[in-house]
Amino acid sequence: MRTAREAVPTIVRGVAVVAALSLGAMSAAAQSRILTASPVLKHGAPGEKGGGGSVAGGGSRSSDCNLGVDDGTTEASVGLFDDGTLIWFNALEATPDCELISEIWIVWGSFGSPSSPPNGSAAHVYLWEDPNDDGNPSDAVLLMAHPVEVQNSGTGAEARYNIPITRVSGSFFLGASYDGPALTYSGAVDTTAPVVDPPVSWFTAAIFGPFDPENLAAFGPELLVDSGIAGEWVMRAVGGSAGYAYQGLLEDAGQPVDGVVDLSFSLFLDATGGTSLESVAIPGVTVEDGLFSVTVPLSPSNFDGADRWLAVAVANPAGSPLVPLDGRQRITAAPMASVANAYYGDLGWSQLTGVPAGFADGIDNVGTVDGHSLDAADGSPTDAVFVDNTGRVAINLAAPPSPQGRLHVRGGSGDHPAVIERTGGGGTLVQFRLDGSPVGEITVSGGGNVTYGSFTGVHLAQTTEPLPHATLVRLSGNNARVSDDPSSEIVYGVVPTTIANDPAVIGASITQASGRENVMSVGNGEMWVVQTSRAISPGDLLISSDVAGCAMLDDPSRFARGNIVARAAEPVDWSRVAPGPDGARRALVSVLFDRFQRGPDTGSLQQRIDSLDAENRALRARLDALEALLRNPARKEGAK
Region 82-99 average pLDDT: 90
Region 493-513 average pLDDT: 88
User: Which pLDDT does position 460 carry in this prediction?
Assistant: 87
Percent of the chain whose predicted confidence (pLDDT) is above 70? 79
Domain assignment present for 15: yes
Region 358-365 average pLDDT: 56
Q: What is the DSSP letter of 536?
A: B
**Beta strands across the sheet bearing 17-20:** 17-20, 33-37, 76-80, 185-190, 232-233
Region 47-53 average pLDDT: 31
Query: Cα–Cα distances in Å, from 288 out to 250, 282, 292, 323?
Result: 9, 17, 7, 19
Question: How far, in Å, CA of 398 to CA of 63, rounded?
Answer: 46
369-380 pLDDT, tens digit each: 545 778 777 777
Name the pLDDT band for 422 (thresholds 50, 70, 90).
confident
What is the number of structural domains in the chain?
A: 5
Query: Cα–Cα distances in Å, from 113 out to 39, 186, 363, 390, 591?
Result: 6, 9, 37, 29, 32
**pLDDT of 418 over the 60 cut:** yes
Name the pLDDT band for 512 (thresholds 50, 70, 90).
low
Indicate the SS3 state at residue 7: coil
User: Which pLDDT does position 126 carry in this prediction?
Assistant: 97
Asked if 169 and 40 sit in the same domain, the reply is: yes
Question: How far, in Å, CA of 463 to CA of 466, rounded?
Answer: 7
Highest mean pLDDT among 235-244, 361-370, 385-394, 601-610: 385-394
User: Which pLDDT does position 603 carry in this prediction?
Assistant: 60
Question: How far, in Å, CA of 363 to CA of 356, rounded?
Answer: 11
Give the residue among 26, 2, 372 at the shortest CA–CA distance from 201. 2
248-258 pLDDT, tens digit each: 889 988 899 99
566-596 pLDDT, tens digit each: 999 999 999 999 999 999 999 999 999 988 8
Asked if 60 and 177 sit in the same domain, the reply is: yes
**pLDDT of 83 over the 80 cut:** yes
User: Which pLDDT does position 61 carry in this prediction?
Assistant: 57
User: Which pLDDT does position 63 carry in this prediction?
Assistant: 61
Domain assignment present for 344: no
- Please list, in sequence order, all residues whose beta carbon lies within 8 angstroms of the beta carbon of residue 446, skipping any fewer than 6 positions away: 425, 426
Task: Sort 418 into a burial class: Cβ within 10 Å, 0-12 / 13-18 / 19+.
Answer: exposed
Name the pLDDT band for 437 (thresholds 50, 70, 90).
confident
**pLDDT of 362 over the 80 cut:** no
Region 475-483 average pLDDT: 91
Low-confidence winner among 5-14, 275-284, 316-325, 591-600 (lowest mean pLDDT) = 5-14
User: Which pLDDT does position 121 carry in this prediction?
Assistant: 94
User: Which pLDDT does position 397 carry in this prediction?
Assistant: 83
User: Which pLDDT does position 359 carry in this prediction?
Assistant: 61
Question: How far, in Å, CA of 482 to CA of 488, rounded?
Answer: 6
User: Which pLDDT does position 13 carry in this prediction?
Assistant: 23
Asked if 473 and 461 sit in the same domain, the reply is: yes
- Residue 454 CA, chain-centre distance (Å), reads 21
Region 72-95 average pLDDT: 90
122-169 pLDDT, tens digit each: 999 999 999 999 999 999 999 999 999 999 998 888 999 988 878 898
612-629 pLDDT, tens digit each: 888 888 888 888 888 888
Answer with the one of 216, 240, 264 that is the final residue of a domain: 240
Answer with the one of 177, 211, 240 that is the final residue of a domain: 240
Name the pLDDT band for 633 (thresholds 50, 70, 90).
low
Please give the residue that has the higher pLDDT: either 510 or 577: 577
Answer with the one of 181, 208, 240 that is the final residue of a domain: 240
Asked if 147 and 260 sit in the same domain, the reply is: no
Please give the residue that has the higher pLDDT: either 318 or 28: 318
Asked if 608 and 590 sit in the same domain, the reply is: no
Domain assignment present for 499: yes
Domain assignment present for 485: yes
**pLDDT of 2 over the 60 cut:** no
Asked if 230 and 285 sit in the same domain, the reply is: no
Asked if 312 and 223 sit in the same domain, the reply is: no
Highest mean pLDDT among 420-429, 434-443, 539-548: 539-548
Q: In this structure, are residues 444 and 499 in contact, taking their beta carbons and an 8 Å threshold?
A: no
Domain assignment present for 621: yes
Domain assignment present for 182: yes
What's the domain range around 625?
602-639
Task: Quickly list H helices, 212-354.
Answer: 335-342
Region 223-245 average pLDDT: 85
Percent of the chain whose predicted confidence (pLDDT) is above 90? 37
Asked if 534 and 575 sit in the same domain, the reply is: yes
User: Which pLDDT does position 29 carry in this prediction?
Assistant: 23
Question: How far, in Å, CA of 509 to CA of 456, rounded?
Answer: 11
Give the residue among 235, 194, 200, 190 at the shortest CA–CA distance from 74. 190
Query: Cα–Cα distances in Å, from 364 out to 359, 361, 370, 390, 403?
Result: 6, 9, 11, 16, 21
Region 198-207 average pLDDT: 93
Question: How far, in Å, CA of 194 to CA of 319, rounded?
Answer: 46
Question: How far, in Å, CA of 386 to CA of 390, rounded?
Answer: 11
Asked if 59 and 191 sit in the same domain, the reply is: yes
Query: Cα–Cα distances in Å, from 248 out to 104, 264, 400?
Result: 33, 13, 65
161-198 pLDDT, tens digit each: 988 878 898 999 999 999 999 888 999 999 888 888 89
User: Which pLDDT does position 35 carry in this prediction?
Assistant: 39
Asked if 192 and 66 sit in the same domain, the reply is: yes
Low-confidence winner among 43-47, 477-481, 514-518 (lowest mean pLDDT) = 43-47
User: Which pLDDT does position 66 carry in this prediction?
Assistant: 87
Domain assignment present for 208: yes
Q: In this structure, are residues 193 and 156 in contact, taking their beta carbons and an 8 Å threshold?
A: no
* Residue 63, beta-bridge partner list: 66
User: Which pLDDT does position 606 carry in this prediction?
Assistant: 67
29-39 pLDDT, tens digit each: 222 223 333 22
- List the CATH number of the domain containing 486: 2.40.300
Indicate the SS3 state at residue 339: helix
299-320 pLDDT, tens digit each: 766 777 788 999 999 999 999 9
User: Which pLDDT does position 142 carry in this prediction?
Assistant: 95
User: Which pLDDT does position 151 carry in this prediction?
Assistant: 93
Q: Bin 468: left if φ > 0, else alpha if -120 < ψ < 50, else beta.
A: beta
Please give the residue that has the higher pLDDT: either 134 or 424: 134
Q: Mean pLDDT in the chain?
A: 79
**pLDDT of 14 over the 80 cut:** no
Asked if 160 and 38 sit in the same domain, the reply is: yes
Q: In this structure, are residues 109 and 216 in contact, taking their beta carbons and an 8 Å threshold?
A: no
Asked if 590 and 620 sit in the same domain, the reply is: no
User: Beta-carbon neighbour count of residue 340 at 10 Å?
Assistant: 11
User: Which pLDDT does position 8 carry in this prediction?
Assistant: 25
Amino acid sitting at position 231: G
Please give the residue that has the higher pLDDT: either 15 or 537: 537
Q: Is the peptide bond before 198 cis (omega within 30 degrees of 0)?
A: yes
Question: How far, in Å, CA of 24 to CA of 31, rounded?
Answer: 8
**pLDDT of 470 over the 80 cut:** yes
Question: How far, in Å, CA of 279 to CA of 291, rounded?
Answer: 22
204-218 pLDDT, tens digit each: 999 888 999 999 999
Domain assignment present for 176: yes
Please give the residue that has the higher pLDDT: either 519 or 334: 519
